[in-house]
Structure 1
Amino acid sequence: MRIGEFKNDQARERFRAAYEQTLAELWPGPRTALDLPTTFGTTRVYRTGPPSGEPIVLLPGSGGNALMWHRYIDTLARHRPVIAVDTVGEPGASVQTTPIRDGQDGAAWLDEVLAVLEVTDAQLVGCSYGGWLAINHQIHHPRRAASLTLVDPAGFADFGPRFYAWLIAGGLATAAPRPLRPRLARLVGNSAILESELMGLMRASMGFRRALPIPPVLSDEELRRLRVPSLFLLGARSAMHDSRKVAERLGRLAPSASVEIVPDAGHALPTDKPELVAERILHAIEQ
C-alpha cells in the first residue's frame, strides 16, 4: 500500500510556501506547533487556549488540515484548550511514513497522537473524514475521548454519483473569477469555495498524492459500541448521505448519540453554518 506524499520536491515546496502563508494570515492568535512521533509518521498539531482543562481536539475533513478550523479557533479557545490536528496522510505539515489501511489503523494513529499529548479526556470534534476517524477511535480505543461532536461525518453511505458530482462542481467553481463564486456556491451547494485563502491552499495541494482508505459504511455492531455522548450535526442537504436515514439509524443503534439535522446546510456544514456549529460544539462539551 502507498503513503500520502507529494509528487516531487517542487510540489512539496509550493505547498509548504502556501501553507505557511495561509497559517500566518488565518490563525487568529498565539499557538504552539508540535511535531509528534507516531507509528504512521510525524503528526503536526497546534495548541492554543488555556493551559489546562479538557482539550477540544479538531480533526479536519478529507484533503484538509488544521487550517480548515481557522474561524473556530478564537471562539473555542476562550473556553477550552484547543488542539488542531493535521491528519497524517493529508496535505499539511504532517509526514506519513507507514500506510493506513483501514479505520482501525486510523484509530491507532489518533490514539498515539493523544497518548503523546497525554490526553485522556479529549472532546473530539471531527468533520467528514475526521468524523469517521473519531468514531473509529471511540470504537477501538474507548478510553481517551470524553465526547464526540461529528460534523456531517463520513461512514454512513457509500460515495455515490451525487457526492462525486458535488466534489467536481465545487472544484470547478473554485477556478471561477472571485465575483462569481458566491452565486456558484449557492448553485452547487458548497460554501467552502468562498474560503478564498483556503482555496488557494487547496490548489497548491493538487501536487499531493493522497492514499488514505475510503471510509466503508459503519456496521450496526460498530455503532452499538459508541458509549460516550456523541452529537451528530448533519446537513439537511448533504451530498454524502441521506441525513434523515442516518438519524433514524443512530436512534436505533446508538443510545448515547443525539442528532441535529441542520436546515439550509449541506456537507460543507462548517462553512454553511459556522456560528451554529461553534455553539453546538461548546454546548456539547459542557454537558
Structure 2
Amino acid sequence: MLIGRWLSAVALLCWAGALHAAGLQVTDDRGVVVSLPQSPQRIVSLLPSLTETVCELGQCHRLVGVDRYSNHPASVRALPKAGGGIDPNIEAIVALKPDVVLMATSSRGVQRLEALGLKVLAMEPKSSADAQRVMGKLGQLLEVPDAQRIWRAIDAGVMAAAQSLPPGARSLRVYYEVSAGGYAAGTQSFIGELMARLGVQNIVTPDLGPFPRINPEYVVRANPDLIMIGARNVHGMAQRPGWSGMRALREQRVCVFTAEESDVLVRPGPRMAEAARVMARCISEKGLR
C-alpha cells in the first residue's frame, strides 16, 4: 500500500515536471502557435487594448515597453516607447530584450521581429467576442486563471449601462465616426455591438463591415438622429456637403467626445463597460431630449 502511494506521488511529480518542461503554448490570431519556456516576465505591448488588458489582469509590472499611444493606466506612460502599432521601432524593441512582443496582426513589424528571433503574439480584437477571446489568451500567457471573471464584470457593466436607458432610445438612428477620413463604426465592430446592446440603431448597414470608410453623402441620405464623433475629428464637420441640413446638426444632437473619452471608446479591452456608460450618457443628454 505504502509503495503504491509512493509510486503514485513520484508519477505525479514527473507529470508536473513534464508539464513545466513543456512550457507555454499560445495560438495567436494568425493561427501561429507561440511556444515559450515559461510565462513571460519581460513584455513589450504595441497595441493600447493589449496593454490595458495586461494591466487589468494585474500584470502591469511585466511590461518593459509600450507603443506611443498606450496611456492607460497612468503607470505605463513612464515606460520606454517603442514606436507605434503600424510603425514599430524594431531597434528599440530588440534593445528591451522582451520575452514576448504583443502586437496587432496588421502591423508591418511582425515578420521582422520574428526574423530577429523574438517571440511575437499577434492579436487584433475587432468585436466583443474577439476582446473576450484575447482576454482569455493573455490570461493563459500570463498564467492568470480568473481572466474570464474580469470579462464577466465587463459584460455586467455594459448590461447596466443599457438598462439605464429608457425604451425611447430604441428609436434613435445613430452615426458613430471613429477616425478622420470618415471611418465609421459598423455593426460588426465592438463599438457597433455596444450601440446595439444600448438599443440604438446604427445607420451603417452590416454589409459594409466593421470599420468602413463612409462617403459623406451616405450619412446625409441616412439623416441620423444623433452623431457621435471625437474632438480630434469634429473640425469642419458642419462644412461637409449637405451636413448642415441634417437633423442631428440642426438640433445640435452631436456628442463630441474628448480625447480621453475617445481612447476609452475605441479600445476593445477592459474599459468597454466604461465605454458603454460614456455612450449611454451621450444618448441621454443629446439623443433623448
TM (norm. structure 2) is 0.28
Greater strand proportion = 1
Q: Considering only CA atoms, is the larger Rg found in Structure 1 or Structure 2?
A: 2
Higher RCO (C-alpha under 8 Å, 6+ residues apart): 1
TM (norm. structure 1) is 0.28
